[in-house]
Chains A and B, each alone.
Chain A
Amino acid sequence: MKKTLTLLIASTALTTAIVAPAWSAMRTPGDTFAQTVATVLDDAQAALPLVFVSSDDDDDEHEYQNGSRYDDDDDDDCDDDDEDDDECNGSARNPAPAGTVAPPQNGLFGNGAPPQVQVN
């Protein structure tokens, strides 16, 4: 009997220790359940720092039967469409655009006017 009473008291104490702080935390932000949930989610988002893991989108590449491999359309950080973005991870490996540096010394170019380009 004494043993059962001891177990009961211990479990009650543990439950109280765990539930009471959680309950009071959930009660604090809002009066309604919706407010409480929204506040808790906001808090969680604010607490989590935005960590940039990698922009290498090799994961979403696919191999096609013809051997060509391309990214999915939902690739968000290095789209083919935004030619002028400099945020891509691989920007350091990208070549210098025309007009920013001289053409390569490959013997094909003269020393005259720099390359001119126009897309119609």
Chain B
Amino acid sequence: MKSVLTTLALTTALTIPGLAMARPVTMTTTLNNYGGDGAYLALYVSDAAGAYVGSLWMAGSKSKYYEHLTDWHRATGGDTAQVNGITGASVGAGRTLEITLDLADALFDAGYTLHIDAAVEDMRDSPNEVAVPLTTQGAGTPVAGRRYVATFAYDM
């Protein structure tokens, strides 16, 4: 009986931190009616020093256009492995992209910034369209983009 309790306590102690280390975060990006084709969007994270940490989402499946997501491309060298498994379709003008990701808790309140680069065919590239610090307080607060993004918000 005692050994069963010990095992249970041990498995619980090992499981709970694992569960608490990540949480589902929904990121909602609404585009302006800019009157062009679907926008390519790169969502990625930089640390407190401004260095690229990793990508969260790529809207747009054709890598040949990624060079127009200029800041993301500069940081990654256009490495498509950075967005394997987190790539979807480009987003049409006026439409809303809603992504729910299981993100590490360590991302929040630790000086990280989420960036969005945007590009539209035959229109001006828009690096750093959105730059928003990842904080628990900032959750649910919409921020405006510079050119193509009307609003962006993340909810936890």
| Contact residue among A64, A67, A104, A116 (Cβ-Cβ distance under 8 Å from B85) | A104
Interface readout for B48-91 with A: 1 if CB under 8 Å, 0 if not?
00000111111001111101100000000000111111111111
- Complex-state Cα separation, A112 to B24, whole angstroms: 8
Interface size class of A (residues with CB under 8 A): 35 or more
Inter-chain contacts of B82 with A (CB < 8 A): 95, 104, 106
A-B pairs under 8 A by CB, number: 148
Inter-chain contacts of A96 with B (CB < 8 A): 84-85, 87
Contact check, B61 vs A120: say whether CB atoms are below 8 A apart.
Answer: no
Say how far A48's CB is from chain B's closest CB, in angstroms: 30
Inter-chain contacts of B68 with A (CB < 8 A): 68-70
- Complex-state Cα separation, A89 to B58, whole angstroms: 20
B104 in contact (CB, < 8 A): yes
For the complex, count residues of B whose C-beta is within 8 A of A: 52
B58, B86, B92 pick with most chain A CB within 10 angstroms: B86
A102 in contact (CB, < 8 A): yes
CB interface residues, A 63-120, toward B, < 8 Å: 64, 66-71, 78, 80-81, 83, 88, 90, 93-104, 106-120
B96 in contact (CB, < 8 A): yes
List the interface of chain B (C-beta within 8 A of A): 18, 21-24, 37-38, 45, 53-58, 61-65, 67-68, 80-92, 95-104, 106-107, 119, 121-125
What would 10 more interface pairs be, CB under 8 Å, given A80-B37, A118-B99, A120-B95? A68-B119, A70-B121, A96-B84, A97-B88, A109-B103, A111-B102, A113-B102, A117-B57, A117-B97, A119-B92
